[in-house]
Structures are given as C-alpha cells and as structure tokens.
Structure 1
Amino acid sequence: MQQSTQPLTIPAHFGGLLDSCSHKTAVIYLGEEFSYRRLNRLSNSFAQGLRQRGVTSGSRVIIYLPNSIQWIISWLGVLKAGAIAVPITPIYTPSDVEYIADDTGARAIVCTDRNYGYVSQVIEKTSLEEVIVSNLADMLPLYKKFFGWAFDLVPKGKAAKGDRTTNLKQMVSEPTDDIQPVEVGENDICEIIYTGGTTRHPKGVPITHRLLLEQAHEQISMSASNFELSENVIMGSAPLFHILGQTCSLGTILLHGGALIQQPRVNLDAMMDAITRHRAKTIIGVPTLYRMILEHDRLDQYDLSSLEYCFCGGDVLPEDVGRRWQKRFGKPIYIGYGASETVGGVSMTPTDEAPPQGAMGRVLESKKVMVVDPVTLDELAPEESGELLVHSDPMVEEYWNKPQETKDSFVEIKGKRFYRTGDVVRKDENEWLFFVDRTVDTIKHKGYRVSASEIECVLQDHAAVVGCCVVGVPDEKVGERVKAFVVLKKDIKGITGYDLIKYCRNRLSSYKVPQYIEFRDMLPKSKVGKLLRREVRAEEKSRLD
C-alpha cells in the first residue's frame, strides 16, 4: 500500500494518488474515460452537495445504483462528506429499501430514475429526507446520450421534482478542487454492506476505513507478480455493492492508480469488446460469468489475450469450467473464498504456485482460521471436515443493530474473536482450504447469498400455505437454484406453483424467487418440531444422482 503520513482512510488515500495519477484514467464507463482528477472533482462536488442538504458526519446514505460512474462518484462523495455509505443491490424491492432505511436510519438515498418509483413508495414511511436521482447516461457526452435514446438503449424512468429530490448531475455541475474532505478516523465506519444468510432480513456489516483499505490492498496485490499494479486495467463485472467488487475491483483506484471498467449490467458482447479495446489485464467474476463467456456464440470475434489475471469468487468454481478456460486461453482461473463479514478474501490462490486439486485458495496472511466441530467448537485435526471460523486483526466484530445475530455468528476462543462462516471445509497442513458443504440455511445462486429462511417466511405468509422448506438444488450454470417444498392447508384447492411464484415475485428480489415449487403432504421434522432441511437436501441430491 502506498505510504502516507495521513490517517489510513479512503479519502486520504485516494487524494494521495492525485499527484502521480491526476491525468491517468481511473474509470471507463460505457466507453467514456474519467481521469483521477475529474473523478476527484466530481466526488468533491457531490460531498459539498450532501453537506448543503444536511448530511453530516456519521449520517447514513443509501446508494441504490448499478455499477456506474455515478456509483463511484456517490460512494467517494459520501465518504468525503464524513458520512457512511450503505450500498445495496439495485434490484431490491420497496420492502427491502424500507427495511434497510429503517435499520440504518438513513437520511438520504441515491437512485436511478428507473427505481425512483420504489423509493417514492417508502420515503414517507422512513427517515429518508433527500433523494438524489440519476439517469444511467447522465455523465456521458451528448452524442452518446443521443445514440442511446435514439436506439432505446438507455433505460429511462420518471422522477418527481421537489424540495426533497435533486438531480445528481446538477449536484456535480460545478466541480471544484477546493473542498476539503471531512476528517475521519481510520477506525470510523466507512460503509455498511448488507448480506444475506440464515435470517429473514439481510444483516448490515459495518466496515471501517482501515479494514477495507488493508483487505483490498492484500487481495488486489495477489496479481502483483503478473504486472505492475499501477498499470492494471480491471474488467469489474462483480457488483460494487458486493465485497468482491470492492476489494478486488474498486481497490485499484483507491490504492494503486489502476483503471476500472464499469458497465451497469452484464452484457457479454459489451464486456468482451471493452476487454479487447482497453486491453484489460484483470477480470473479476463469479463462476456463472466464466461459463457464459466460454459458451458464448461470438467468443471468437474478440481478443481476450490481454487478460493475465482471471479471478473467481462468490461461489465454488466447477472443475470443468476451470479446465475449459485453461485450455481455451492458456491461463488459469484463480480461485478465492471469502464473505462480507471477513471483508472479502479468507483464502486466495497465489499466482506463482499450482494449487492442489479442488482447493479454493490458501489462507491469507491477514487471517487466522480454525476448522472446528460445529457443536463443541473444538478444533479439528488437518484434513478433518468441520465449520470454518475466521479471525483477523482488525476485523468486523458485530452486525449493525443485530445483537442476537452477532451473538450467534461471532465467538470468543482463546482470547480471540472469530466469525462463524457456517461453511463446512477441510484444511490441509499447508493452509489450503477445500470446500465441503455450506450451511443448510444459505443458498448460493449466481454468486448471491440467499436466505432460505427469508423465502420460507414469505411463502408462509400466503393464506394457503401451512408449511414449507426451501433448499438449494445444485446447478452447473448458476451454482444452485432455489426450490421450495410446500404443504398446503387441507381445505385449500386450486393453488398452483405458478401462483406461489407470482406471489414471491411481488415480495422478493428476483434472484430470491423460487424456480421450482414441489407440493408435499408433510415435511420431515425432528422430535422437537424443528424442520430437518438437511434431510430434504439429501433427498434432492439422491434424486439428482
């Protein structure tokens, strides 16, 4: 990490790059290049606009945007204003937005005109006082806007005008270098990332400036033997509201003076064209992305030879995909494992060493891990399978406003605080980790962590449902698909799987909606009435085998 006499904070480190990187490209968004100097001026103006609208140190600001230059301007601006960023997925429903606004007490929200309608449904019910709206083409030159509008390529929505609503472009229309970021400490919270898991609602993970910078530096430096980090150009397909996108993509413009390519959604042709045009050296993605690229009909039309570091996180990479990628491009896919609670990587694959077959990386230097019996928490011998516990110094030590979930997920062992991942792994004598199984309550779909309990709660709210069980069904393309086993009330007739899926679509984000519904007369339960989800998963696995 570049040395600085200033505190280990994100505004200080980003500002420290300006002397050497002022005219270098920081972000490439839909073909438009934004220099470090321009990005600094835009984010300064955004910070000033927030202050003028009453956002003060410690205020929470929700960023409800897809990957874009607007996302980066907003996120940096929030931190420069001394506030706390709350990045969330742009496909959240109104109920999700309302819950997170209430949970954080957020004062402002940044959204696109496309999801402004969702915000308007909940603003009167929450602490939100300011809405900042942007169209995805706002920061592009006029000819690109015209092209996008003429061919209907730019999604458009409507936003009301009023005292509480501001256009993002207007906020940054008078950029200046004179604004000084509000002073913050390295152990102050810079953002709250929301993660799924075993509870009905997502849990907020508070991350400090120091923690994010140190972890991003360690993880993005894994490619340092391949090229100079200051010359890195990253195709950042991982979403920036996700810890993978932040530590392994965003980190390049916070710490090392590289460039980041951003697109608002995954479009394989646009992505591969950008890699070809800008000679990207790195691509970050989940297993599904690599499979989609390999199976794309027009793959041969693009030159991806500039890629030197291909990293996969978010889920287990099928060995078949790894072999096919190596054969097609002559380069491996480097695998890593991590979580929001560990601020990204726990284990990653070094670039100068061939990993053992099936490994998901070697434990990083910043992490101490234990593989334990999930009941007794006794440490197991190497090669034995058990629950993975992770410690670092510093580390996330609690969830935001969730004392019971904190108590369930964080434990003290031998004077150190560990995060319980819930994942079953084994560790060899050389600190390589091997994935065995995941917690029965969590489903991994397209890199998202989906709470089975959340979907079950929604289904059980349906008047016709008396009981249900949700599990992940293994799928080569997306990791796992969501399947629900449902028991209907005896006097109910005429309810179909389609009816229940439609019901879920109105209450859940799209990636959480079950793909399959199977009706049953009863579900397996323990003697004390606890749902035996593991037995249902085992039945489904046997059926697939």
Structure 2
Amino acid sequence: MAQTETLAQPPAAVAAVKAPFEPLSQRIRSHALRDPQGIALRIDSTEFTWAAFDHLLDRVAARLVARGIVRGDRIAAIGPNSPEYLLLFVGAVRAGACMVPLPTMTSLPSIVGMVNDAQARMVFAASAQHATMDEARTACASLREFVSFDIASPGWEGWASWLGEDTLAAPADVPVTEDDLFNIMYSSGTTGEPKGIVHSHGMRNEHLTRMGRFGIGPGTVTLISTPLYSNTTHACLLGSIGLGGKTVMMRKFDALGWLKLAQDERVTHTMLVPVQVQRILAHPDFERFDLSAFQWKLCTSAPLSPLIKRDAIDRWPGKMLEIYGHSEGGANCNLVLNDFPDKLHTVGRPIAGCVVKMIDEAGHELPRGQTGELVGRQPAMMVGYFMQPEKTEEVTWYDSDGERYYRSGDVGHFDEDGFVVLLDRTKDMIVSGGFNVYAVDIERVIEQHPDVAEVAVVGIPSEQWGETPLAFVVPRAGTHTLDAAALRTWANERLGKLQRISGVELRDALPRSEVGKILKRELRAPYAAPAADATPPAHQPAHSRSTV
C-alpha cells in the first residue's frame, strides 16, 4: 500500500516538505460542526460528543483568559490521566497558552526546577499531588494560582468551582502561528537533569499529519493508555483528536483492562511502549480477545525486542509499526514489522522528510555502514530547550552545508539496505579492554534463553578491563529454577570473547520510567566505586534475588 511504501523509502529518495498548517483548535471546531453528536472522547463510562467537547474547551479557554492568561503563558499540570487534565491541556492551547505537563513520579527538587524553569503562572494538580506541590509553593515564585483537578482542599480551588457556571457568551479562540509555543515537555530521559523540550504549534501540526498516514480519522477508535505528561501519548492522542477519530483513554494501564477495552470498543489504533506490548502479549487470556478491528499498533520510547516483534506479527491482527525517535525531533525511523520480517533487529528506515547521518566522536560524518552516533533533521523538530540555548547547542550538529541536525545520543549504523541498526546509548556504551562493547548485542543473546523474561546489560568498573558487562535478568513468570551461575555460563558460550558477561543478577523487576524506559543509571549506581570483576557491592539492592 502507498502508506507503507512512503514509510519505507530510503533517505536519499525523500524531501523535507512541511504539512499545511491548521491549528489543533480549529480542527476540533470543524469536527464539532461536522459531527456534533459523534463521540470524541470516552474515559471509563463518561463520553463526550464533539459538540460537548468543543464547548468545554471554550469554557476552559475563556476561564484561563479571564484569570489573566495571555498568549505564550505557561501552565503546569500534574496528575494521572483524567477528562479534566485533557480538557485543560487542549483548552489551554485554545487560549494560546503553553502547557507544561509534569511527571508524577519525580523528586520534589525536580518539580521545583521544572516549574521555575518554565516560569509557570498556574498549576493544576490531582489531589494525590497536592502535598508535593504544597511543599514546592515557597520555592516557585512564578505560581499565582493552584487548582485541583478533583476536590478542593486548603489552598486549592476545586475544578468545578474554577470552571464556574456555563455562561459562555463567545468562544475564546486565540489566534496562533506555527512558531507559537504549544507545550514544554520535561524529560530527563535516562541520562540525568531534566530539560524543557519546546514544541511549537508547527511541530504538533507535523505530528498530526503523520498520524493521518495511518488512516486515523472519522470512524477510527484510538486507545490511549500512557500518561499525559509523555510526548509518546500526545503524538497519538492529539492525532486522534485533531483528525476526528474517537479517543478512548485509560486512567492507568493494566493489560487485562486494555484487552477488554480494545475488544469492546473495536479499537483500530493505539500507541504503546515496549513494556506494554510485552505484558499484553504475555497475558494468559490474550488469545480469547477479539482484536480483529486493529489496523495499526504503534510502539515507541524504547527498543522493542526482536522476539517480541515476531510474536506480535504472529498473533496480533493488524500491522505494527516501531517508531524510533526523540521528543526533540531529529532522527526518526519507522519499521513496519509485518512488511519487513527479516529486519526485526533494526528500527527501520528514516521516514519521509527525515535525513539521518552517523558521526564519529569528533563530529565528523562517517561513510554509510560505519558505526557512529545518529544525527538527524526533519520538519518536526523542537524549538530548543526552554531558556537553555547552551544546552540546545550541545545537541546540535551542522553538516558541511550548514544544515542543523540534532544529536540523538544513540550509537548505530545503516545496514546494506538502508535500515538503521541501533547498538547503544553513547553514555551506556561499555568500553572493555579498550574496545567498544554494545549492550544490545549481549541482551539479544541472553533474551533467547527460555527462562528469561527481560534482561538489561550495563558496564561496571573492572580493575582488569576498565569496564565489564553485568547482566540484570528478570526470570520468566512461573520459573523457579533459573540459576544465575548457569545462565552466565550459557550466555558466555554464545557470546564473543569481548562480550562475555562477568556476572548475572536476578531481579523481580527492572527499574523503569513511567513510559517503560529501563533506567540503566539506577542499575549502575551501586557499582560506581571501582570493584573486582562481578563482585557485588555491599550495598546491593535489597530486591535482588541472586547474583554471580
């Protein structure tokens, strides 16, 4: 089909063409006029027609304007998925404001840093986050109002009271341009200090256009189960809303609940992260659910195991797309698993309009086929890190023609067909005996063991080698006989000499961010002090079950 052919084009055959700009707010307004009684959104048992959704957005926008919010002002929000959160997000965009969604699982200093960096004027929070934000109040001088997504409490105005009576006389649709700020996404990723990634209305418009390539629009049903602070969520959620599809949103993901919704709602599209894909496919009742309505499942945010990709092809109706990219923009690749079953070890080819290159440590462009850091450019790129031009410049690379690219921090190479093979994060690469060792090569061997559910490999200090690989393994459910020493022997018989792991640590679970990224820095942390090969430190995590 033409859609797949476009996604599969090699980088030399595409050109960067920006999509015509149509603001999200105007798109929603047109859906409300076209299909006022059609269902725009469902969460739990609550449904919103397009007319009701559009009207509520007007009320939110009008209330923000009445409270003094002007074009470009930042509004922070923190809490689990809810109708109120989504209405605020899109209503703020209609008012010309810039949304700043905050992660719910982060430290108080990080929250303070994000709010102060964004200079947010208001904060909306679910009651579970009131205590955290109360602690942050005195350190966040820019905050003027505190509104609860649910119930009122001391110092917090309740949502219903804040929204007020329905006396709207005229919509408050503030005109915006492609360059206006849409949102600031704060993410430390897996590397450290959070930075504010600024997305413009133009960038979000590009994302909407891309979702349209997968057929999202009137008549489709998109299931959203990732948190509203994540760019992964908004890439698909805003696509569904902006293109006129029905959106079903979960407050919190669980595999069984997801499967029930997918069947009952006849879901056609979804965006998932790898750990969700794994849990859905591993659910013992997976086969009894009717998922035949699926057209596309999209997966992003972290590498997806080739074994899980194969399982998805074999057992899950519809096509699956793996998306490689970053919230900053830059390098972006797609792999349609069903169309390229022999390329499951890759993340696909650069999408139409995206140019990807490899550079060495000195910033020199490398010939095709050589391993280096991925850099990329495309129409959908961030404005920069908010108020941090020096940080923006650190991730910027310019080619010989002066074209701007963003550095990915990922190491990889093109194969002979132009597909990108990812090897590691630059900061996660293991240097053992002076040679580069890539964790993914080791992980793909260990995950083939029948008793292994998940594995993550990191480098720990070694007196002999500088660094040595250590594997953290989650046994497959129902497995009680997995022995760390035996697994180490099994793996090393299959690995190259430089790849051999110095130890195995069995875990009940791997540390992850809320969108499923394995936090390798947490795995490395207890081993930061120099130590002999594979000798666990005295402060080994209490939840570790076994080690070698």
Q: TM-score range by the shorter chain?
A: 0.7 to 0.9
- Residues in 2 aligned to 1:39 and 1:28: alpha-carbon distance in whole angstroms: 11
Unaligned runs of 5+ in 1: 136-157, 445-451, 453-468, 479-503, 525-542
Task: Please give the secondary structure, in 2, of the residue aligned with 1:303.
Answer: coil
Task: Give the conservation status (yes or no) of the 8 Å contact 2:322–2:337.
Answer: no
Q: What letter matches 1:190 in structure 2? A: F
Task: Give the conservation status (yes or no) of the 8 Å contact 1:123–1:129.
Answer: no
Alpha carbons of 1:131 and 1:401: their partners in 2 closer, same or farther (altered >3 Å)?
Answer: same
Alpha carbons of 1:282 and 1:116: their partners in 2 closer, same or farther (altered >3 Å)?
Answer: same
- Residues in 2 aligned to 1:115 and 1:264: alpha-carbon distance in whole angstroms: 15
- Residues in 2 aligned to 1:11 and 1:401: alpha-carbon distance in whole angstroms: 26
- Residues in 1 aligned to 2:421 and 2:26: alpha-carbon distance in whole angstroms: 38
Partner of 1:395: 381
Task: Please give the secondary structure, in 1, of the residue aligned with 2:302.
Answer: coil
Partner of 1:95: 109
- Residues in 1 aligned to 2:109 and 2:310: alpha-carbon distance in whole angstroms: 42
Q: Residues 101-500 of structure 1: matches in 2 within 5 Å?
A: 101-126=115-140, 127-135=142-150, 159-162=152-155, 165-175=156-166, 176=168, 178-197=170-189, 200-218=192-210, 220-224=211-215, 229-254=217-242, 256-342=243-329, 346-350=332-336, 353-354=339-340, 356-373=343-360, 375-393=361-379, 395-413=381-399, 414-428=401-415, 430-440=417-427
- Residues in 2 aligned to 1:62 and 1:401: alpha-carbon distance in whole angstroms: 16
- Residues in 1 aligned to 2:418 and 2:40: alpha-carbon distance in whole angstroms: 36
Partner of 2:489: none
Count of residues in Structure 1 that have an aligned counterpart in Structure 2: 441
- Residues in 2 aligned to 1:332 and 1:287: alpha-carbon distance in whole angstroms: 16
For residue 63 of structure 1, report the CA deviation from its aligned partner: 1.7
Q: What letter matches 2:352 in structure 1? A: E
Moved more, 359-368 or 285-294: 359-368
Q: Could you report, residue by residue, the CA deviation over 1:70-104 in whole angstroms, capped at 9, with x for unpaired residues?
A: 22101111111211111122223322221111101
Name the TM-score, length of structure 1 as normaliser.
Answer: 0.73
Moved more, 513-522 or 385-394: 513-522
Partner of 1:514: 522
- Identical columns (%): 22
Q: Could you report, residue by residue, the CA deviation over 1:219-256 in whole angstroms, capped at 9, with x for unpaired residues?
A: x13423xxx632221111232322221112321111x1
Q: What letter matches 2:76 in structure 1? A: I
Partner of 2:66: 52
Unaligned runs of 5+ in 2: 1-18, 430-438, 441-457, 459-466, 477-510, 533-545
Task: Please give the secondary structure, in 1, of the residue aligned with 2:157.
Answer: strand
Partner of 1:20: 34
Partner of 1:152: none
Task: Give the conservation status (yes or no) of the 8 Å contact 2:320–2:336.
Answer: no
Q: Could you report, residue by residue, the CA deviation over 1:176-209 in whole angstroms, capped at 9, with x for unpaired residues?
A: 4721311222211111111224764201111110
Alignment of 1:76 onto 2:90: yes
- Residues in 2 aligned to 1:205 and 1:133: alpha-carbon distance in whole angstroms: 25
Q: Could you report, residue by residue, the CA deviation over 1:304-323 in whole angstroms, capped at 9, with x for unpaired residues?
A: 22222111111111111122
**Aligned match of 2:54 in 33, 40, 45?**
40
Alpha carbons of 1:317 and 1:159: their partners in 2 closer, same or farther (altered >3 Å)?
Answer: same
- Residues in 2 aligned to 1:6 and 1:314: alpha-carbon distance in whole angstroms: 27
- Residues in 2 aligned to 1:124 and 1:433: alpha-carbon distance in whole angstroms: 48
- Residues in 2 aligned to 1:470 and 1:166: alpha-carbon distance in whole angstroms: 54
For residue 433 of structure 1, report the CA deviation from its aligned partner: 1.8
Give RMSD over aligned pairs.
Answer: 3.5
Q: Could you report, residue by residue, the CA deviation over 1:375-413 in whole angstroms, capped at 9, with x for unpaired residues?
A: 232222222221110112363242112233212111222
Task: Please give the secondary structure, in 2, of the residue aligned with 1:229.
Answer: coil
Alpha carbons of 1:197 and 1:55: their partners in 2 closer, same or farther (altered >3 Å)?
Answer: same
Q: What letter matches 1:522 in structure 2? A: P
For residue 115 of structure 1, report the CA deviation from its aligned partner: 0.6
For residue 107 of structure 1, report the CA deviation from its aligned partner: 0.5
Task: Give the conservation status (yes or no) of the 8 Å contact 1:386–1:425.
Answer: yes
- Residues in 2 aligned to 1:398 and 1:50: alpha-carbon distance in whole angstroms: 26
Task: Please give the secondary structure, in 1, of the residue aligned with 2:114.
Answer: helix
Task: Please give the secondary structure, in 2, of the residue aligned with 1:204.
Answer: strand
Q: What letter matches 2:334 in structure 1? A: M
Alignment of 1:9 onto 2:1: no
Alpha carbons of 1:23 and 1:474: their partners in 2 closer, same or farther (altered >3 Å)?
Answer: farther
- Residues in 2 aligned to 1:89 and 1:73: alpha-carbon distance in whole angstroms: 18
Q: What letter matches 2:306 in structure 1? A: E
